[in-house]
Amino acid sequence: MNQNSFSTRMAAPVSLAAALTLLIASCASKPPPAPNLQPAAQAAPPPFALTAEQMDRLCQTAADTCHRIQTLQPLTLDDIKVMAKLKFSSDVILAQIRNSRTVYHLTANAIIDLKNSGVSDQVIDFMITTPNSVAGFPPVPEPQTSPYSSQIPPPPLATEVAPPTPGPDYVWIGGDWVWNGGWVWVGGHWAYPPFPGAFWHGGRWIHGWGGYRHRHGYWH
């Protein structure tokens, strides 16, 4: 073997080793890949939550109501009327009632007052059913008789034509007379049952000792 052939054979592995060394050094000198700096997706707000603009209007109009909603305290009837006056949707008002877990025992006069204050039938219907429908509270039996009575018999029930149902499974609750220093007719309305298969037993006036007393309707 001549000297030139031996030199060529010895130079090949040396060149390969040098190339590998340069390749390893090049990889080591490359900076690590940049981290993904895309902002994390923010959690969606709960459905029908008050917007910042609605909360500002509420706090400016009724500070006590604002505080009760922020601290999840029970909401008064005045709180509900304030939100209705501010034109909050029924779904938004219902969400606040559910969040506060408020249970209402509405009298006939209270129902009339809520209607006159612009509270929707949907909200009133839900408030009526809160003793049975609000989570975390045991069912509260309705009183057998109303504290309101009259010595004068109520007029015959008015003939009503129910408007189109707002959706499937709604139940029509017929109107009734209410004694408020005189007979006042409260028209019927559609209501969503508090549980599947619920049947509405309408209220009625009963003549007994001391005059006429009203027996409340109830879901069964």
Q: SS3 of 189, please?
A: strand
How would you write the pLDDT of the chain (220 residues) with one tens digit per residue? Answer: 555 554 545 445 555 555 555 555 555 555 555 555 454 444 444 555 778 888 888 888 988 888 888 877 889 999 999 999 999 999 899 888 888 888 888 887 888 889 999 999 889 988 888 876 654 444 433 333 343 577 889 899 888 888 888 778 888 888 888 877 788 887 887 777 877 888 888 888 888 877 888 887 787 7
Range 158-168 burial, b when 16+ CB lie within 10 A, else e: eeeeeeeeeee
Rounded CA-CA distance 36/106 in Å is 56
Q: Which residue ranges make up each domain of the chain?
A: 52-133, 149-219
Sign of CA dihedral 119, 120, 121, 122: negative
Rg over CA atoms, the chain: 36
Asked if 200 and 217 count as a contact pair (C-beta separation under 8 A), the reply is yes
Neighbours of 76 (CB within 10 A): 14
Show the tokens assigned to 193.
């049952």
Global pTM value: 0.46
